[in-house]
């Protein structure tokens, strides 16, 4: 049974031996602690700088081999920038829903290899847990295909109008 305990041993003795009592020993029995697990997922492993990345996950307690959602707690999500970028991790917080899931968005501001980690500090009943994923942020490329395609479309439209104007005039 959990709680604070004080114990000692005592023997009253017999015809051959004197009685004896030990010193009192104090100890505390804690409630059972349950192991937890956190999952984290990214929709893709590569994003372009400035694009929005949605991070989602789930926090569960592992009870008798089954995963039970932990709801209504705050999960810490940290985004660690590439090593060549000076700065501290960017930390956000998300709350778990009734099903233990959480999600948030992030807009990376630097090119390179990033990591994202989700953690929960636990409490007197549940253990601490964490998980992480890697993702790569790519440089934004100039949209040459779209620009060239747009220019070709405009030139074709202008030539068609001129052709039709000449045809009507003849």
Between CA 70 and CA 58 the distance in angstroms is: 8
Between CA 86 and CA 38 the distance in angstroms is: 29
* Average pLDDT of the residues in 99-108: 97
Indicate whether 55 pLDDT > 70. Answer: yes
pLDDT band at 148 (very low <50, low <70, confident <90, very high): low
| 32-41, 93-102, 115-124, 133-142: segment of lowest average pLDDT | 133-142
DSSP letter (8 states) at residue 152: H
Between CA 92 and CA 87 the distance in angstroms is: 15
55 CB neighbour count, 10 Å cutoff: 21
pLDDT band at 154 (very low <50, low <70, confident <90, very high): confident
* Average pLDDT of the residues in 113-128: 96
Q: Where do the domains of the chain lie, and which CATH numbers do they carry? A: 33-144 (2.60.40.1930)
pLDDT band at 28 (very low <50, low <70, confident <90, very high): confident
Between CA 59 and CA 131 the distance in angstroms is: 10
**N-terminal to C-terminal alpha carbon distance within the chain:** 105
Which pLDDT score, from 0 to 100, does residue 17 have?
94
Question: Count of residues for the chain?
Answer: 170
**H or E element: which one contains 55?**
strand 53-63
* Average pLDDT of the residues in 51-74: 96
pLDDT more than 70, % of the chain: 94
Indicate whether 169 pLDDT > 80. Answer: no
Between CA 150 and CA 155 the distance in angstroms is: 9
Q: Across the chain, which distance is largest between two alpha carbons, in Å?
A: 140
46 DSSP β-pair partners = 136
Nearest to 69 by CA among 82, 78, 59: 59
pTM: 0.67
């Amino acid at each position: 049974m959990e709680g604070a305990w004080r114990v000692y041993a005592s023997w009253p003795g017999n015809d051959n031996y004197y009685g004896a009592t030990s010193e009192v020993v104090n100890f505390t029995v804690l409630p059972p602690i349950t192991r937890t697990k956190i999952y984290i997922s990214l929709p893709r492993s590569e994003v372009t700088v400035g694009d929005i990345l949605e991070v989602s996950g789930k926090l569960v307690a592992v009870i008798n081999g089954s995963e039970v959602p932990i709801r209504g707690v705050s999960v810490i999500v940290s985004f660690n920038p590439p090593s060549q970028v000076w700065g501290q991790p960017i930390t956000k917080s998300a709350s778990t829903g009734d099903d233990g899931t959480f999600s948030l968005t992030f807009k990376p501001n630097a090119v390179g290899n990033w990591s994202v980690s989700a953690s929960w500090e636990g409490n007197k009943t549940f253990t601490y847990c964490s998980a992480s994923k890697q993702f790569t942020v790519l440089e934004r490329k100039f949209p040459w295909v779209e620009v060239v395609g747009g220019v070709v479309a405009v030139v074709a439209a202008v030539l068609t109008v001129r052709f039709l104007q000449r045809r009507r005039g003849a």
